[in-house]
Amino acid sequence: MGKITGFMEFDRKVEAYAPVEKRIKNYKEFTAPLKEGELKNQGARCMDCGIPFCHSGCPLGNLIPDFNDAVYHGKWEKASQILHATNNFPEFTGRLCPAPCEEACVLGINEDPVSIENIEKNIAETAFKNGWIKPEPPLKRTGKKVGVIGSGPAGLAAAQQLNRAGHNVTVFERDEKIGGLLRYGIPDFKMEKHVIDRRLEIMEKEGIEFKTGVHVGVDLEAAQLKKDFDALVLCGGATVRRNLTIPGSDLKGVVQAMDFLPQNNRKVDGIPFIGEDISAKGKKVIVIGGGDTGSDCIGTSIRHGAVSVINFEIMPKGTTERPEEQPWPFWPMRLRTSTSHKEGAERIFSISTKRFVGDSNGNLKGLITSEVTWEKIPGQRPILKEVEGTEKEWECDLVLLALGFTGSEPTLADQLDLEMDERTNIKGSSLNYQTNIPGVFVAGDQRRGQSLIVWAISEGRQAAHHVDAYLMGKSNLPLKGEGDLPRV
């Protein structure tokens, strides 16, 4: 596996980034890929560890040591086959995944882990460049019709798998273009949108039908769709935004991140957007929320030309080390610093916003905060406590609310009589992804709540297997950990 002494010979190396002052002038990706020799050395660092915990760290069960070995030996086409056996879209995860596989890498116990994500991206890019990623239409059609609602990574993965099993698949998307949050959440500087278009071209040639501008439940009754199709897969995401219901939240200048980011992606794409233009140019911006969405607001505001960007996080500042209670190979909750954070945002932790302050015309001009602590009581959730005497006023004229999402929109559940879970996601069995209504399945964020692209692809693939089994009595579509190996 790899080069037996590779991990002792080569240090970890990852892609470099263009300097901040250069990259913030546009919305393009800004990584400088590793050279082929460097990638082979990185593949060589994957040691013969015996039990590759990276497999279980990855929600897709990617066969990581196998593709690392292929890369080390310069067998890029084979590497692409191994990677695609478990992951429909490695060009997305290779750019955007927080790489739980690397946190689970055995080498990571006492060394820097293998740069798995960079290797993955380069396998996908090499495969596209050489024309190895070709449409794989099914040899036979089953005559069964499957409707997929939502075209994010979960819907796309489910659609591709079900089409490969021979079913006639139609994907319904309410937006004007396909891609879900890949297209209208994640900014171009993290992933340029031609990366999605290139994959969609392959999928269209495989025979998948895409219908955009169709809001199921509004333009089309979900119950009608249920009659028209043999099975439905709901992949509509977890789109209900969390609000901050404090005084002044209706002031002009208090804006939801998910109004700001999709609008900007449409501007970059040169397509019209609905609503007022939201610009951070020349403004003092405060982004409330320290997750991925908050980070994307920072990078976008800086590219707009904001005067300053401050990021509030209600949780305390973590350490860059693994917390003791989250030992290897688990995913550790440690301080993560994104490329956007490094572009000039000031980060403030353990802070809570109490009210917004406006001028006489209803425009935002500031906000008031307090410092907070989290009281830990064994066996209970930590309790938020305000620190007395720490009130502070901050000047700002644009606030972006990036507070996360509270679950799935209720429309489809209402129209199809579907049960929701206690976190207001659509309830889908963890065994077969089926809802309480036979023939209606759910996958991705709509089932698990706002999560990660790698989980969405994994859920789409798993659900596809169970939809196929529901329609045909059995399925040869691989489940997690099986790759494309035949099922016994």
Residues that bind ligand FAD (CB under 6 A): 96-97, 149-155, 172-175, 180-181, 185-186, 190, 215-217, 235-237, 261, 292-293, 296, 411-412, 444-446, 450-454, 456
Closest CA to 114 of 123, 129, 126, 104: 104
Name the residue nearer to ligand FAD (CB basis): 93 or 115.
Answer: 93
Name the residue nearer to ligand FAD (CB basis): 286 or 454.
Answer: 454
Q: Rounded to the nearest whole angstrom, what is the least distance from the CB of residue 414 to ligand FAD in the complex?
A: 11
Q: Give yes or no for a cis peptide into 19 (omega within 30° of 0).
A: no
Q: Rounded to the nearest whole angstrom, what is the least distance from the CB of residue 60 to ligand FAD in the complex?
A: 12
Name the residue nearer to ligand FAD (CB basis): 152 or 366.
Answer: 152
Q: Rounded to the nearest whole angstrom, what is the least distance from the CB of residue 54 to ligand FAD in the complex?
A: 17
Name the residue nearer to ligand FAD (CB basis): 24 or 235.
Answer: 235
Q: Rounded to the nearest whole angstrom, what is the least distance from the CB of residue 474 to ligand FAD in the complex?
A: 26
Q: Chain-centre distance of CA 309, in angstroms?
A: 24
Q: Rounded to the nearest whole angstrom, what is the least distance from the CB of residue 11 to ligand FAD in the complex?
A: 26
The amino acid that residue 294 corresponds to is: G
Q: What is the DSSP letter of 179?
A: -
d(CA 343, CA 356): 26
DSSP 42-84: HHHT----SS-HHHHHSTT---HHHHHHHHHTT-HHHHHHHHH
Q: Rounded to the nearest whole angstrom, what is the least distance from the CB of residue 260 to ligand FAD in the complex?
A: 10
∠ Cα 302 306 307 (to 5°): 125
Per 3-state DSSP, the chain is made up of helix, strand and coil in percentages (nearest 5) of 35, 20, 50
Q: Rounded to the nearest whole angstrom, what is the least distance from the CB of residue 87 to ligand FAD in the complex?
A: 13
Name the residue nearer to ligand FAD (CB basis): 40 or 193.
Answer: 193
Name the residue nearer to ligand FAD (CB basis): 80 or 151.
Answer: 151
Name the residue nearer to ligand FAD (CB basis): 185 or 248.
Answer: 185
Closest CA to 155 of 221, 208, 218: 208
Q: Rounded to the nearest whole angstrom, what is the least distance from the CB of residue 185 to ligand FAD in the complex?
A: 4
Name the residue nearer to ligand FAD (CB basis): 181 or 401.
Answer: 181
Alpha helices in 130-211 (DSSP H): 153-164, 181-184, 194-206
Distance separating the N- and C-terminal Cα atoms of the chain: 27
Contact residues for 160 (Cβ-Cβ < 8 A; gap 6+): 88, 203, 206, 208
